[in-house]
Structure 1
Amino acid sequence: MSAAFWGGNTEGTKGALQTLRDAPFGQILLWLVAFGFVCYGIWRFIAAYFDLENRGDEEKGMFQRLALVVTGLIHVGLGVAMASLALGVGGSSDGGGASDWTAQVLQMPGGKWIVGIAALGILGAGVHYVIKGWKKKYKRYIQNNEMTQKLEPLLRWGFVSYGIVLAIVGVFLGFAAMNSDPSSAMGVGGALEYIRGLTGGQVLLGVTALGIIGFGIENFVEARYRIVPGVGHSSDIRSMAQAAKAKAKTEARSVSAG
């Protein structure tokens, strides 16, 4: 948002965290974020082991539970990386992180395939978030109340915006794999810079920034109001999807009665 309205460089995750580290009480905040990532990773392990998302024991369900374990490992790794940054051994924030690791992987046996698979995974995740936001699929697991209803437009755009950014990262990573050119790879900061370079980019960047803020708010909403299928909850609690369905039925009966 700052880059859109006041100029300057767009920042990726690492650069943003280093800015946080240098802010007042930044070290404490960075340690809290690192701890949060590790806790989130552990939560993914617990959700996979006890099947708290009701994925089941069939082939598809087991694959989805394995994906929870993989994302758990990734987040624990991110937490460790943030702890290293808090200790002052996290390296520079020159924005070359994506290109650096892509170059390292491309040098490995089958490196192009590894990078290509990673690109497809990131692109797929981006498309998933866009669809999830556009079709409002998040409503199925968020409690319906006055707060979530008011925030829904921001939640929806948050998913779509985050998905667009991820898709851009995935596409350019794919170019890096196809051309064996690590310089084509980019992280979140590079994707945001690409958006700013488009026609009307300043406005697009500002709108995307608002969406990413919305995605952050969505995470806060989930932390407080998410309905976990495998955990018992009050029968009075309804999801946003259930409330919308009940409202549609009531309106349909009213039209029929009229």
Structure 2
Amino acid sequence: MSSKAPAWVVPVMRTGYAARGAVYTVVGGLALLAAYKGHEAEGTTSALATLRDETWGIPMLWAIAFGLVAYTVWRLIDAAMDLETHGSDAKGIIARTGQVVTGLIHGGIGISVAGLALGQSSGGEKASDWTAKVMTLPYGPWLVIAAGLVIVSAGIFYVHKGVVGRYKRSLRETSLTERLDPVIKFGFIAHGAVVALTGAMLIYAGFTTDPQQAGGIGEALQHLRSVAYGRVLLGVVALGLMSFAVANLVGAVYRVVPARAGPDIRTLAMQARAKAEQAVS
């Protein structure tokens, strides 16, 4: 399959990860500021809307929008051509379906960011709005619960990816990636926790048939802030989201596509296996 992959897929991938890194830099940075000053945490679109007040904000928004659409293109091609060699068994199909879903989600965010660049309101349709619409459908609450379970599963996947270091399979071994490995690990775990929390909120909304219980990243961060020691917890998660931004920015430079990587490419996973074998011997 790799021989059929278009040559431009790698630069498109790198553009996408760079944009994703920019998004989480802004979201994580504002969440950290909210934890420090006691303000409300912002969701993705609301956080990016703050860029419009900067002199370079509009060009930056267009660049992020373009990059997120590029990320969508990368994920769709990645899943269709199995560029990360997940395979076609049940586990592989689930992984590739997840790639399509995450790609489309980021494409939607990219369209919203383009709207911000054009001067549209940052409010948009909230998670509670579309949840209310879904609940009007036959078996609507159950559809909401099912969507929540999928999102929770995605969050658990990110946490697992960080804990076991699965991301190392796609990162080139360099002195920089080796030094930043703990930051990248923390980023995946924190991001997964936030994603799982948004899914749990959606499940709760389905069980209570109350759309207002649903929410995105902003609402999830606000929920963390409302619990005991919430500002401390929010600060830790904010640092985690900024670490996830680092993971994406590193990926924009050092990520490899397994199906296209040559035999001379050495990843962090290969390095880890070599160290483990050396320790045993």
TM-score by length of 2: 0.83
> C-alpha deviations, 1:49-73, integer Å up to 9, x for none?
3221123344553454344334333
Aligned residue in 1 for 2:158: 129
Task: Determine the structure 2 residue equivalent to 1:182.
Answer: 211
Question: Can you list the C-alpha shifts for 1:77-101, whole angstroms capped at 9, x where unaligned?
Answer: 22222212211224437xx812122
Q: What's 1:115 paired with?
A: 144
Name which of 109, 114, 132 aligns with 1:103: 132
Query: Does the alignment pair 1:164 with 2:185?
Result: no
Q: List structure 1 runs of 4+ shifted beyond 6 angstroms.
A: none
Describe the superposition over 1:165-184 as per-residue Cα deviations: whole angstroms up to 9, x where unpaired: 11111111111001110111
Distance in 1 separating the partners of 2:122 and 2:37: 27
Alignment-derived partner of residue 12 in structure 2: none
* 2:99 pairs with 1:71: no
Q: Which residue of 1 aligns with 2:22?
A: none
C-alpha distance 196-73 of structure 1, shift in aligned 2 (>3 A) = closer
Letter of the structure 2 residue corresponding to residue 245 of structure 1 = R
**Structure 1 position 115, deviation (Å):** 1.0
Instruction: Give the unaligned 5+ runs of structure 1.
Output: 254-258
Which residue of 101, 116, 133 corresponds with 1:85? 116
Separation of aligned partners in 2, 1:192 and 1:151: 25
Which residue identity does 1:243 align to in structure 2? Q
State the distance in 2 between where 1:218 and 1:157 align. 9
Assess, with a 3 A threshold, how the Cα gap between structure 1 residues 72 and 92 changes in structure 2: closer, same or farther: closer
Matches within 5 A, 1:106-255: 106-233=135-262, 235-253=263-281
Question: Which structure exhibits the higher relative contact order, with contacts defined as CA atoms closer than 8 Å and separated by 6 or more residues?
Answer: 2
Residue 247 of structure 1 aligns to which amino acid in structure 2?
A: K
CA distance in 1, matches of 2:70, 2:168: 25
Q: For the residues of structure 2 that align with 1:208 and 1:65, how far apart are their CA atoms?
A: 28
Distance 1:66 1:211, change over 3 A: closer
Do residues 55 (structure 1) and 55 (structure 2) align?
no
Paired amino acid for 1:98: A
Gaps of 5+ in 2: 1-31
Counterpart contact for 2:191–2:241, Cα < 8 Å: yes
| SS of the residue 1:42 aligns to | helix
8 A Cα contact 2:169 2:268, kept in partner: yes
Q: 1:34 to 1:117 in 2, by over 3 A?
A: same
Alpha-carbon distance in structure 1 between the residues aligned to 2:91 and 2:138: 30
Give the Å deviation of 1:27: 0.9
CA contact (8 A) 1:82 1:90 kept: no
**What secondary structure, in the 3-state scheme, does the structure 2 residue paired with 1:8 have?**
coil
Partner SS state of residue 244, structure 2: helix
Q: Look at both structures and tell me which one has the larger radius of gyration over its CA atoms.
A: 1
Alpha carbons of structure 1 residues 126 and 83: separation in structure 2 relative to 1, 3 Å: same
Question: 2:38·2:231 contact (CA, 8 Å) conserved in 1?
Answer: no
Structure 1 residues 179, 138: CA separation in 2 closer, same or farther (over 3 Å shift)? same
Residue by residue over 1:136-162, the C-alpha shift from the partner in whole angstroms, topping out at 9 and shown as x without a partner, is 221222112110111111111111111
* Letter of the structure 2 residue corresponding to residue 29 of structure 1: M
What fraction of aligned residue pairs are identical, expressed as a percent?
A: 45
Distance 1:19 1:172, change over 3 A: same
